[in-house]
Amino acid sequence: MSIYAAYGTNLDPEYMAEHAPRSPLWATGWLEGWRLTFGGGPGPWGGALATIVEDSSASVFVALYDVAECDEAHVDGCAGTAFGLYSRLRVRAATLLEGEVAAWTHVLNDYEGGLPSALYLGLLADAAEKAGAPPFYVEALRARPCDPADR
């Protein structure tokens, strides 16, 4: 079993079902000691991209997928690992029923800072909501600042 911890647009189970059809949603949980942030400069995606950084006082909601070996390369490809945009990272996710589990996720290979586009931020919030994130988490995503050039 290869557990993937999604914190960005891959939180959306329907989106993941299209891109990794043999990899079901396994559970949801939290990356304790991590903070969701944005990094990189504006590019074709319209603003900074989601990533996580270590922060002992924070946690990030994640959807955990049981990724089939045949889907792993596609999940990596969607994250742009072949182009060096994101890299894989091993993390521990806390779940309600299974306790702590080992998982892998992607982190941005760029500096922290910058603002996401309003569209991207909306997609993240919608994905979190679809994955069953608590309302306070979704509301905090929707309240985050976005790139003023994108409004």
Q: Is 120 annotated for ligand binding?
A: yes
**Best CA proximity match to 62, nearest among 114, 128, 145, 130:** 128
Decide the pairing of beta strands 49-66 and 99-108. Answer: unpaired
User: What number of CA atoms fall less than 13 Å from residue 38's CA on the CB side?
Assistant: 20
Tokens standing for residue 38: 């944005």
- The per-residue DSSP string of 85-113 comes to SEEEEEEEEEETTTEEEEEEEEEESS-B-
Binding-site annotation, residues: 120
Binding-site annotation, residues for substrate: 120
